[in-house]
Amino acid sequence: DQQVKQNSPSLSVQEGRISILNCDYTNSMFDYFLWYKKYPAEGPTFLISISSIKDKNEDGRFTVFLNKSAKHLSLHIVPSQPGDSAVYFCAATVTGTASKLTFGTGTRLQVTL
């Protein structure tokens, strides 16, 4: 039972264009959402997060949007750069539950020249 789903295993985007990575969740108790980025042979690194009391959070080129009614969040990267090529994991948690994260299956983003 996958509570956090990333239905696109891969995405290819041209440099300079927008990358949109999607994530859906089923557990309505989740109230905090995160995106992690992972390069090959490295551990995931935290990218950006959003609380359920917000519908948007922005950090430089990265923006996360949350649609609670649809149980959907998305990560926008504008403009995309070759260094953004990585696997992106969406994660969710219920705050107050010992930081236990539930991860999605990941989306591999390739930014082409």
Q: Which residues bind another protein (CB under 8 A)?
A: 4, 6, 31-32, 36, 41-46, 49, 51, 89, 91, 93-106
Of 1 and 113, CB closest to another protein: 1
Of 15 and 110, CB closest to another protein: 110
Q: How far is the CB of 12 from another protein (least distance, A)?
A: 19
Q: How far is the CB of 35 from another protein (least distance, A)?
A: 12
* Cβ-proximal residues to 79 (8 Å cutoff; 6+ apart), any chain: 15, 16, 17, 18, 61
Residues 32 and 92: beta-carbon distance below 8 Å: yes
- Quote the CA–CA distance of 85 and 90 in Å, as a whole number: 16
- Quote the CA–CA distance of 99 and 1 in Å, as a whole number: 20
Q: How far is the CB of 44 from another protein (least distance, A)?
A: 5
